[in-house]
Structure 1
């Protein structure tokens, strides 16, 4: 209830003070933080002449106080400069120490009748008998005010106004309440003040209307000019942004082979700036490029030497400025998260070797995942480096001193003298060092204690030393000479002075860590040679291995895997690896190599030519485009039908059918695949739901998981099958090109149209296709024409042209692959909307996704991604050769399909692998950021772009 304003307001004339305030508002910020500014604004504007900024000057702390070291002195000064105190009463104000303090000051220094109460919440209850507020019912007054008033005060009830943002200033209730307060502060009767407020409003309206009328012509003209200017400005900004994005995309593509880390970052930034066909293609290309390149790892120093732990988990580097660094590399392909997802290094479970995980650490601590550990060892550059299998013992040299690095301890010098090569045994209990010249000693010592075990003077200089175990010392040079000594007494067990390398110019040399293998090059060929005493020698002389041809004219860096099954060679900007089980592999993406070492057999780490970045190569990695690790395809011959693939509607399961063998894989979890052998040799799977699969084949229809059968027989030689989104229409294309509409549950034929004749042999894939909505089917007739059948009607349309080999659907686009390699995209009309290609000799493999992407397979095993809406080629990836069978070219035994969500394509090659290719740019962006291992820098931008760098350069992971 609102209490009427009892008595009379003091009739003192109003004069707005020059330096003081007409009123001071005391309120609770917690409750009235939004209402107090509204009350202040309306009081200052009430009955305001149009030419003045305000009619009253009202103090409110948030609006009038500046930053001040003393809060209460500032408030006290404002109280002293104010003529009235307006208390916004509420339970929160009653509990506020600051509100109570302001009221106590006012009652002590100003008359009580100069205090106005605005009730915003709670209750005020006056007890006439006791002449004070009832303490049991009054909840809105601070303690200092409850007993200080001698008569019932006047107040304004604003409890109805709880949300100031929803109340218009013209609301009559608000005007009436503001008038109550304003007439008291200004000392003017309420009726006169309200009348003055109305007159001033009318005068202001007339002035505004006149001004608006005078300015309207200018405003229209200026508005037109401004609109044109804004459009031109916005267009200029868009064009500049588009031009910058396209320049970044072009720069990214240009640097793929030499600076893939920067190229990946530029492509990600280009796509973030503008998502068009060019930036998306650039992002695709950097993600698909150099498939074995796993990631870059920036270092805080320039690398001069590299070594790896025998377990393949840790990489050790020696820098030009005498530091030792350790990086625990991410796990191998197939053992970690899917490629393209955020990744981190793997903890080794071992304490870090003398560092805390920061690039400049020099004390003990544990190594965080993916951290680079850096410690100071020498005053000059590190020239030789070796580590044990576990990475717990590292031996390094700067050419004149030997240093040992233990976990948790700083490196320490254990030997002074000429050092050419060092070695550590797999167990880490023995280390060896040679000087490299005749007369230099061979020294064995305990790397755990640094204590010298024994030494032996060598009559010849040896380029490499190894410790296959703690009992054997292996020596080798660059010509093929080798020796095996007994570590106990240095007795020569076996060896040879036979020269393996040619006498004239050749390029030398790389050694496996135990020197059992060494590599050298001549005439563009790298020779990988095993010493007779090595693991493959069996004590018998062995001629050099068959050389690997590599196009490097003058290789100057070599690395050999411990087991001798891989060798790498670098020279200039070229880098190649040769694997005995994988052949020659080109490794583009960097501008040169300074040092390298193998982690096991299928992983290689190199230091870039500049030496400040490590590069991890993984030969088990198929591509960074993959959405998950590869899985094995059915182990069948590649001379039979193309494997048939189907992804469940929810995208969680994949069915692969090849030569009567059915495999169902879980795409989003570690569950083991389900396998079954069917009665028929060929067939096509179709998912009736996320849980139920039906296989139509030459035999009886087979279901999974409970193997239901139809009450009606299946047509023989099914060539294509599709299910409508509502699950009520199963469309089947028969061996003669006929189209049937069947009941999915019983197989009953509800509608059919005959075909043009026997279709091409079953090995020819994609001779028929069903649209995603189940409303049409396309069939390649024996004469190369394409018939499009409208399911459920008699509408049969023949497309122009007679050289078709394959058909498919990408959303509502019909794709027709021709014998000439062209891809025709049809929607409506008598002519195709566009032609894509050819550019390659394509197989019949063709698949489209719901959002308008397509993949085609070339005769060389290259998967080509195309945006059928624009006709642009996004990029290409190479499918890996199957490793479990031989026979015909495997690409005729490869199938492809898109998942229903349009984020992936799946390919499967008989006796090869099932691969999931991501076509989601968000995955490509994450893969680009992951491979770079860092963010763009302003130095990168200046060097590769040449313009002012933006403020935000972080990679959009």
Structure 2
């Protein structure tokens, strides 16, 4: 089959034949056509061949298998068929695109058109829709057995599952470390398989019942979402960045119902927010120097007030009576969450604040600055109690419930645990990932804490020693995750920017049991490192 796509392709690669065989008599093709093409597919009854031609103007053509005659054709946007031809014929596989698929009932044709997928009515070749999510060349398409879903794999490393009728993505999976060149559904549609340049077969659970991370909610992804921030009680996730039209906005996702509320306009809103205790029925957001309070149930904006003249850069709400706000000029002030009135003097630290962690004593907070300092401040008197040099720029922090330890994350993925009583590291900052830590939260008993990063990973740490217990990736690669340890401390809830919400057991024994169940054998040391690092290797299913 010829598969030269776009201008400049090697002509010897394009000069090839298309052939159709009768599987009951495979010795000789029933039809042979000599024409350039970039993809082809048979109709379910085998009487029609749909061909993407590469002659002059790219077209989608319908060929009668019995006669070899072209019955009809329609132009396909040339600008979207941008795959360079190979320099050598032997490298032709690098640009092969399985770019045409016919639905099982024969009514719809899906065509890979660069980074988008065109949908055509087979009877008329009329274009009836377009699927857009990928940002790399689409390499493979597959319909599910019932035709309700379409899977696509692309050079962006993503495998996407689409609802064909609604023309929206319903699952976006990271298909590996390179281009995804092949996708396929299991017959029952509950499993998707993908493969590509990483030479691995990836198996995806589409119904959410067989995953290491239990799926709590999986609504349609929101393309322009900037952040997803779960309430500490796990009831709701606030999604920031998707508003009305092109304006910034926010949405509330009810985790139990799996339902996303309407987009609420939040002009100039940022990706910064904090849930307010004790009931977490309100949330504070930021727009430049203005703090806004929203009601979760009604979606109404209850309050809005400018706090100083500089952009707010950090928040903390350690108690029901304290909302600590810090800005780019280094000013820190404590507000009453019910009125947004100041409840103490402002503290001027003269450096941009990158994170703030309030204590539950209604008095003090740890403020992290862009000059690598950590300042302990008294918000009642406005006094700076102490300054410590961390040796790195902190981007997230939390104080343990007893007020004695500070967990801190940095701009290059460091996570460390500091003893505030002794003024010394319990665990010096250890590199967790290369991208910055966006959130840290302690369990209610202080025994563990979670650190979230913008590369979709979440790490679990011992709250007393600062040793890493485990790590997991949630959602699609590059979709920032935010985690909280739920009341009771048994599980963590993880929300990702692509709208997924997951539950992760905080007990390593559960991880081992799951790994044994899935693999049916002991993991190899390499598999162990990929899944259960940093724990020391041990037989997954026991010594026997």
Q: Taking structure 2 as the reference length, what is the TM-score of the superposition?
A: 0.56
One of 824, 839, 853 as aligned partner of 2:416: 824
Cα distance in 2 for partners of 1:604, 1:927 equals 20
Q: What RMSD in Å do the two structures reach over aligned CA positions? A: 5.7
Is the Cα contact below 8 Å between 1:722 and 1:772 reproduced in 2? no
Equivalent residue, structure 2, for 1:783? 371
Structure 1 residues 562 and 435, CA gap change in structure 2 (3 angstroms): farther
Cα distance in 1 for partners of 2:255, 2:359 equals 24
Higher strand share: 2
Question: How big is each residue's C-alpha offset from its partner over 1:460-502, in whole Å with a ceiling of 9 and x where there is no partner?
Answer: 9xxxx996244716699xxxxx99656xxx444459xxxxx99
Answer yes or no: is 1:655 the counterpart of 2:243.
Answer: no
Higher helix share: 1
3-state SS of paired residue (1:525): helix
The residue correspondences of 1:313-352 to structure 2 (distance < 5 A) are none
Answer yes or no: is 1:853 the counterpart of 2:449.
Answer: yes
The residue correspondences of 1:537-576 to structure 2 (distance < 5 A) are 561=142
Equivalent residue, structure 2, for 1:34? none
Cα distance in 2 for partners of 1:786, 1:792 equals 18
The residue correspondences of 1:32-71 to structure 2 (distance < 5 A) are none
The aligned length equals 407
Answer yes or no: is 1:435 the counterpart of 2:25.
Answer: yes
Question: How big is each residue's C-alpha offset from its partner over 1:422-443, in whole Å with a ceiling of 9 and x where there is no partner?
Answer: 99xxxxxxxx7422114x9x8x
Question: How big is each residue's C-alpha offset from its partner over 1:229-277, in whole Å with a ceiling of 9 and x where there is no partner?
Answer: xxxxxxxxxxxxxxxxxxxxxxxxxxxxxxxxxxxxxxxxxxxxxxxxx
Equivalent residue, structure 1, for 2:355? 767
Answer yes or no: is 1:800 the counterpart of 2:389.
Answer: yes
Stretches of structure 2 that go unaligned for 5 or more consecutive residues are 1-19, 34-39, 52-60, 72-84, 103-108, 113-119, 126-135, 145-149, 163-171, 196-200, 242-246, 523-537
Structure 1 residues 791 and 469, CA gap change in structure 2 (3 angstroms): same
One of 422, 427, 441 as aligned partner of 1:834: 427
Is the Cα contact below 8 Å between 2:273 and 2:315 reproduced in 1? yes
Is the Cα contact below 8 Å between 1:810 and 1:847 reproduced in 2? no
Structure 1 residues 656 and 797, CA gap change in structure 2 (3 angstroms): farther
3-state SS of paired residue (2:459): strand
Is the Cα contact below 8 Å between 1:561 and 1:567 reproduced in 2? no
Question: How big is each residue's C-alpha offset from its partner over 1:9-45, in whole Å with a ceiling of 9 and x where there is no partner?
Answer: xxxxxxxxxxxxxxxxxxxxxxxxxxxxxxxxxxxxx
One of 756, 773, 789 as aligned partner of 2:349: 756
Cα distance in 2 for partners of 1:529, 1:712 equals 55
One of 867, 879, 885 as aligned partner of 2:461: 867
Question: How big is each residue's C-alpha offset from its partner over 1:609-639, in whole Å with a ceiling of 9 and x where there is no partner?
Answer: xxxxx9954589897435424445765476x
Answer yes or no: is 1:896 the counterpart of 2:475.
Answer: no
3-state SS of paired residue (2:216): coil
In our comparison, the structure showing a higher alpha carbon Rg is 1
Structure 1 residues 599 and 686, CA gap change in structure 2 (3 angstroms): same
Stretches of structure 1 that go unaligned for 5 or more consecutive residues are 1-421, 424-431, 443-457, 477-481, 496-500, 507-521, 541-546, 551-558, 569-575, 589-594, 608-613, 761-765, 882-889, 937-943, 951-957
Cα distance in 1 for partners of 2:343, 2:220 equals 39
The residue correspondences of 1:95-114 to structure 2 (distance < 5 A) are none
Cα distance in 1 for partners of 2:141, 2:457 equals 32
Shift of 1:949: 6.2
Equivalent residue, structure 2, for 1:703? 294
Shift of 1:722: 3.5
Is the Cα contact below 8 Å between 1:731 and 1:770 reproduced in 2? yes
Question: How big is each residue's C-alpha offset from its partner over 1:301-345, in whole Å with a ceiling of 9 and x where there is no partner?
Answer: xxxxxxxxxxxxxxxxxxxxxxxxxxxxxxxxxxxxxxxxxxxxx
Structure 1 residues 578 and 436, CA gap change in structure 2 (3 angstroms): farther
The residue correspondences of 1:228-243 to structure 2 (distance < 5 A) are none
Is the Cα contact below 8 Å between 1:896 and 1:908 reproduced in 2? yes
If asked which structure has higher relative contact order (CA below 8 Å, sep 6+), I would say 1
Question: How big is each residue's C-alpha offset from its partner over 1:771-805, in whole Å with a ceiling of 9 and x where there is no partner?
Answer: 46655422223433110224546562211345323
Is the Cα contact below 8 Å between 2:229 and 2:239 reproduced in 1? yes
Q: Taking structure 1 as the reference length, what is the TM-score of the superposition?
A: 0.34
